[in-house]
């Protein structure tokens, strides 16, 4: 017998904790759209342009960072009976500091001032470090799902490296420390952030939720046990080589990482084709487009494609699409779970909680997906013809607004159903 | 008597819904034997709240949870 009967944990955090993070996140995608509309040409012409740096940090910290942290706060108890300590405080701190950090970094990169940029970096670091400490405590309590927990651990280590390198970069920009090859440090910051933190977290979570939500066969053991150690070892080796100026060898080690994620994308799509239930929903469609973007970015990188093109595929195709697809499952599941919990607590087993689809109808989620795909095409088109960037900006704004509206509508629906159930149980 | 329920090919939260339905229809003294692919941690919370006891066996990919009422007379609500 497994030791589960002895668990006396309050499994899920209060629903407001993840909901607040999920609701704030789309505002940053919307802000990125405004900057794209305002300084579009600059964003597409160079990844070093202030506007491109602002957009990148708004998406990665404000949008992606908040959703990833919010999802983990509620997912760790569900998949591994690992509740995050002081979850209310941690959720609010992460929400406040990541939101402020992303906004200030955005303003700082746009030239408001070095102090604002520094404040943005410090806020983001406080937000991420608070999350890392609390979620790492949760990981030590985890039961089962060993490969996912290990993968998340490696993702956490990568986030720590990303934050430290980011702070060093800010120190160098302020003239507090001297870094001999600043651009190589930027490459490390980017590689650990996108490949280590975002990539390994998505993969680790996918090992659990793809078989769970799409009823697919399990991921092969060689991938679940091998991916994270290989990626982190290659990133570490690549970083050392870059710092020693042996770029040709460093390229080979980064190629291992890119190949590993391209393989992960192919295996994910293959498992989803072999799923038990042949239904195609918006989440699955988002997965397919995101995995196609990962594979295209990997192949493009190997062929020497422009970093701006790879940026569009990873930051928008994967970074804005997959979180939306996951939220379409996470938000209704959370709503259902909390209401069911409440019903049981009040002893009313006869009044049932409505089906999960009632909280977020798939046809609306599909509409958001359609807008996402049009935006992706618009962004790719604007990369070729920068004059079209305002069109792409409008599409991006619409994607963000639709996502925000859908999350808000689900929460309103949750509240209404909660009231109905309370009056039915009275 | 043990009642068997296989929810291994259902997507969340259907396995939880099916188990709650099955428990509602369970006769006094009967036990429910549920097959699933992963550890249902959220279910344990529900079971504790409802006054059931359980025993989980198996490994990743094939778990079995045997559920019975801690207090048969009180659970037939």
- Is residue A407, in this structure, part of any structural domain at all? yes
Mean pLDDT of A103-128: 96
- Is residue A230, in this structure, part of any structural domain at all? no
Q: Which two tokens stand for residue B15?
A: 């396995």
> Do B42 and A344 lie within an 8 Å CB cutoff?
no
Distances (CA, A) of B43 to A40, A81, A147, A404, B53: 49, 11, 22, 30, 11
Give the residue carrying structure tokens 């550890």. Answer: B39
Taken in order A130, A133, A137, A142, the sign of the CA dihedral is: positive
Which are the contacts of A7, defined by CB distance < 8 A and separation ≥ 6?
A81, A143, B41, B44
Determine the residue of chain A that is closest to B8 in CA distance: A215
User: How close A357 comes to chain B (CA, Å)?
Assistant: 11
Q: What is the interface pTM, i.e. ipTM, of the complex?
A: 0.81
> pLDDT, tens digit, for every residue of A40-95?
888 888 888 999 999 999 999 999 999 999 999 988 988 888 999 999 999 999 99
Of the pLDDT bands very low, low, confident and very high (cuts 50, 70, 90), residue A9 is very low
β-bridge mates for residue B53, sequence order = B68
User: How close A10 comes to chain B (CA, Å)?
Assistant: 8
- Is residue A264, in this structure, part of any structural domain at all? no
> Do A349 and B77 lie within an 8 Å CB cutoff?
yes
Per-residue confidence (pLDDT) for residue A43, from 0 to 100: 85
Determine the residue of chain A that is closest to B64 in CA distance: A1
**Buried b / exposed e along A338-357 (16+ C-beta atoms within 10 A):** bbbbebbeeeeeeebbeebe
- Is residue A73, in this structure, part of any structural domain at all? yes
Of the pLDDT bands very low, low, confident and very high (cuts 50, 70, 90), residue A349 is low
Per-residue confidence (pLDDT) for residue A41, from 0 to 100: 80
| pTM given for the model | 0.92
State chain B's mean pLDDT as an integer.
Answer: 87
> Do A11 and B41 lie within an 8 Å CB cutoff?
yes
Question: Does A136 have pLDDT greater than 80?
Answer: yes
- Is residue A75, in this structure, part of any structural domain at all? yes
> Do A349 and B50 lie within an 8 Å CB cutoff?
yes
Cβ neighbours of B24 in A, within 8 Å: 349
- Is residue A337, in this structure, part of any structural domain at all? no
Question: Does A408 have pLDDT greater than 70?
Answer: yes
Cβ neighbours of B26 in A, within 8 Å: none
> Do B42 and A5 lie within an 8 Å CB cutoff?
no
Mean pLDDT of A321-349: 88
> pLDDT, tens digit, for every residue of A155-181?
999 999 999 999 999 999 999 999 888
Q: Quick count: other Cβ atoms within 10 Å of Cβ A273?
A: 10
> Do B12 and A333 lie within an 8 Å CB cutoff?
yes
Of A4, A9, A12, the CB nearest to B39: A4
Cβ neighbours of B60 in A, within 8 Å: 144-145, 218
DSSP code, position A331: H
Domain of A415 in residue numbering reads as 12-144+378-426
- Is residue A383, in this structure, part of any structural domain at all? yes
Outline where B1-77 has alpha helix (H). 14-24, 41-50, 72-75
> Do B13 and A80 lie within an 8 Å CB cutoff?
no
Of the pLDDT bands very low, low, confident and very high (cuts 50, 70, 90), residue A11 is low
The DSSP H or E segment spanning A279 is: none
Max CA-CA distance within chain A?
71
Per-residue confidence (pLDDT) for residue A8, from 0 to 100: 35
> pLDDT, tens digit, for every residue of A281-318?
999 999 999 999 999 999 999 999 999 999 999 999 99
Residues of chain B with a CB closer than 8 angstroms to some CB in chain A: 9-13, 16, 20, 24, 37-39, 41-42, 44-46, 48-50, 53-57, 60-61, 77
Of A7, A277, A337, the CB nearest to B44: A7
What is the topology classification, in CATH, of domain B2-75? Answer: Translation Initiation Factor IF3 (3.30.110)
Cβ neighbours of A144 in B, within 8 Å: 38-39, 60
> Do B13 and A336 lie within an 8 Å CB cutoff?
yes
Distances (CA, A) of A390 to A100, A111, A380, A393: 26, 21, 13, 5
Mean pLDDT of A411-417: 93
Per-residue confidence (pLDDT) for residue A380, from 0 to 100: 96
Question: Does A2 have pLDDT greater than 70?
Answer: no
Of A4, A79, A345, the CB nearest to B44: A4
For chain A, percent of residues with pLDDT exceeding 70:
96
Per-residue confidence (pLDDT) for residue B74, from 0 to 100: 54
Separation of first and last alpha carbons in chain B: 19
Q: How many domains does chain A contain in total? A: 1
Tallying the residues shown for chain B, one arrives at 77
Question: Does A275 have pLDDT greater than 70?
Answer: yes
Please give the backbone phi and psi of residue B50, each rounded to the nearest 5 degrees, phi first.
-90, 0
Max CA-CA distance within chain B?
34
State chain A's mean pLDDT as an integer.
Answer: 91
């Amino acid at each position: 017998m497994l030791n589960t009967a002895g668990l006396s944990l309050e499994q899920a955090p209060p629903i407001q904790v993840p909901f607040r993070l999920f609701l704030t996140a789309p505002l940053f995608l919307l802000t990125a759209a405004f900057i794209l509309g305002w300084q579009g040409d600059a964003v597409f012409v160079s990844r070093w342009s202030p506007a491109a740096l602002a957009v990148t940090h708004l998406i990665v910290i404000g949008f992606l960072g908040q959703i990833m942290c919010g999802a983990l706060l509620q997912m760790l108890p569900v998949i591994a009976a690992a509740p995050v300590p002081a979850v209310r405080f941690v959720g609010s701190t992460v929400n406040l500091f990541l939101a402020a950090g992303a906004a200030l970094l955005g303003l700082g990169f746009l030239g408001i001032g070095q102090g604002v940029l520094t404040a943005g970096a410090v806020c983001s670091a406080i937000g991420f470090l608070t999350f890392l400490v609390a979620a790492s405590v949760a990981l030590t309590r985890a039961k089962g799902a060993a490969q996912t927990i290990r993968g998340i651990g490696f993702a956490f280590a990568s986030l720590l490296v990303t934050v430290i390198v980011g702070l060093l970069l800010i120190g160098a920009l302020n003239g507090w420390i001297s870094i001999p090859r600043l651009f190589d440090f930027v490459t490390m910051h980017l590689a650990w952030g996108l490949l280590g933190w975002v990539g390994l977290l998505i993969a680790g979570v996918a090992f659990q939720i793809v078989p769970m939500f799409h009823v697919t066969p399990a991921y092969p053991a060689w991938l679940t046990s091998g991916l994270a150690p290989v990626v982190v070892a290659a990133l570490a080796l690549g970083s050392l080589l870059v710092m020693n100026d042996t770029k040709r060898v460093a390229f080979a080690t980064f190629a291992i990482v890119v190949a590993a994620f391209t393989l992960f994308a192919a295996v994910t799509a293959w498992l989803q084709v072999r799923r038990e239930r042949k239904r195609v929903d918006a989440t699955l469609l988002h997965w397919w487009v995101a995995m196609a973007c990962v594979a295209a970015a990997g192949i493009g990188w190997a062929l020497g494609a422009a970093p701006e093109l790879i940026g569009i595929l990873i930051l928008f195709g994967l970074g804005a699409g997959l979180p939306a697809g996951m939220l379409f499952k996470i938000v209704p599941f959370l709503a259902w779970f909390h209401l069911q919990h409440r019903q049981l607590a009040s002893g009313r087993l006869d009044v049932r909680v409505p089906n999960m689809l009632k909280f977020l109808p798939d046809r609306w989620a599909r509409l958001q997906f359609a807008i996402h795909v049009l935006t992706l095409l618009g962004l790719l088109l604007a990369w070729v013809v920068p004059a079209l960037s305002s069109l792409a900006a409008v599409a991006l704004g619409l994607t963000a607004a639709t996502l925000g509206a859908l999350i808000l509508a689900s929460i309103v629906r949750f509240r209404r159903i909660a009231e109905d159930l309370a009056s039915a149980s009275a | 008597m043990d009642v068997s329920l296989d929810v291994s090919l259902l997507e969340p939260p259907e396995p939880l819904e099916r188990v709650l339905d099955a428990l509602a229809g369970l006769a006094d003294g009967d036990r429910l034997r549920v097959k699933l692919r992963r550890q249902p941690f959220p279910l344990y919370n529900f079971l504790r709240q409802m006054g059931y006891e359980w025993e989980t066996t198996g490994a990743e990919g094939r778990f079995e949870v045997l559920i019975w009422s801690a207090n048969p007379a009180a659970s037939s609500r």
